[in-house]
């Protein structure tokens, strides 16, 4: 009988560990971390980073009028919007927890949820990375899943409290 008892305990443990039932809260690492670290986001976010050899230190050394090449016709972005962030927004190589903490910190004060929702769902550069990917050297692969999957994952993460871990 002992073995049957052990078996049922194991089965109960298995059921408890199964996703869906107990609805674990959504964390940054579940789906978003991988998307944040896609090349389309990283290539621009590390643009001004010396540590990560961003483009400003090689192929773009003397290119400052961004729109002259990354034109509206290519990117779909209004003039003045194709730009790279400050190097403190470079999250190259960071794990889920650190990436998440960084972006929350950079969001600044105010209604964090509203700001995060607004930025992640409507920022034109993010839209470009999700559904476009066009550069002066041709089209680069966009983030898999596009805006549809992205907005689902973003909304779920924000609704559950923007958990980093």
List interacting residues with ligand HEC (CB under 6 A). Answer: 36, 40-41, 43-45, 47, 55, 59-60, 63-66, 68-70, 82-85, 89, 103, 106-107, 119, 125-126, 128-130, 135-137, 140, 143
Is 164:101 a contact under the CB 8 Å cutoff?
A: yes
Is 106:98 a contact under the CB 8 Å cutoff?
A: no
Of 30, 10, 14, 34, the C-alpha closest to 22 is 14
**Shortest distance, CB of residue 18 to ligand HEC, whole angstroms?**
30
- Which one, 83 or 148, has the nearer CB to ligand HEC? 83
- Which one, 19 or 141, has the nearer CB to ligand HEC? 141
- Which one, 6 or 50, has the nearer CB to ligand HEC? 50
- Which one, 9 or 113, has the nearer CB to ligand HEC? 113
Tell whether the torsion through CA atoms of 20, 25, 30 and 31 is positive or negative: positive
Per DSSP (E only), the strands in the chain are 134-135, 138-139
């Amino acid at each position: 009988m002992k073995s049957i008892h052990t078996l049922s305990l194991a089965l109960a443990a298995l059921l408890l560990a199964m996703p869906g039932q107990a609805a674990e809260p959504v964390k940054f690492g579940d789906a978003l971390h991988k998307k944040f670290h896609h090349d389309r986001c990283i290539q621009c976010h590390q643009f001004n980073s010396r540590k990560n050899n961003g483009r400003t230190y090689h192929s773009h050394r003397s290119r400052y009028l961004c729109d002259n090449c990354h034109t509206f016709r290519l990117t779909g972005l209004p003039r003045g919007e194709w730009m790279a962030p400050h190097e403190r927004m470079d999250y190259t190589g960071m794990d889920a927890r650190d990436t998440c903490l960084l972006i929350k910190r950079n969001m600044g004060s105010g209604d964090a949820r509203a700001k995060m929702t607004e930025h992640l769902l409507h920022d034109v550069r993010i839209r470009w990375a999700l559904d476009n990917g066009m550069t002066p050297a041709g089209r680069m692969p966009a983030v898999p899943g596009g805006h549809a999957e992205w907005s689902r994952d973003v909304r779920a993460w924000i609704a559950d409290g923007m958990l980093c871990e």
